Amino acid sequence: MAIEVITREDLNEFRSLLLNDLKEIIQSKPQQTKQWLKSNEVRKLLNISPGTLQNLRINGTLTYTKVGGIMYYDNSDIDKLLNGNKVNALPTLFK
């Protein structure tokens, strides 16, 4: 029975190899977002109530598609809504 000694250098080399492998895996898989979201997903994403989501639909702020009684929202429309209502911060607080 042979005993193998593992040194700090061995552990550091293993750590570096493992980190490089993990980085490659993460970078090779682009983050895929769903194109169509259901109402409950949109409410969780925007942290809004069902009534607020209904108001966004009624006043035409957020477009939707209804299929078989289920409302679907295009993710790109949600991004447009958020970017269209973006307010620029004024950097005057800590001058």
pLDDT in tens, 23-75: 888 887 666 678 899 999 999 999 999 999 999 999 999 999 999 999 999 99
- 49-85 burial string, b = 16+ CB within 10 Å, else e? eeeebeebbeeeebebeeeeeebbbeeeebeeeeeee
Give 71's contacts (C-beta < 8 A, 6+ positions apart): 38, 39, 57, 64, 65
Which pair of tokens denotes residue 1?
């029975």
Phi, psi of 38 (to 5 degrees): -85, 170
CA 43/CA 49 separation, integer angstroms = 6
pTM: 0.60
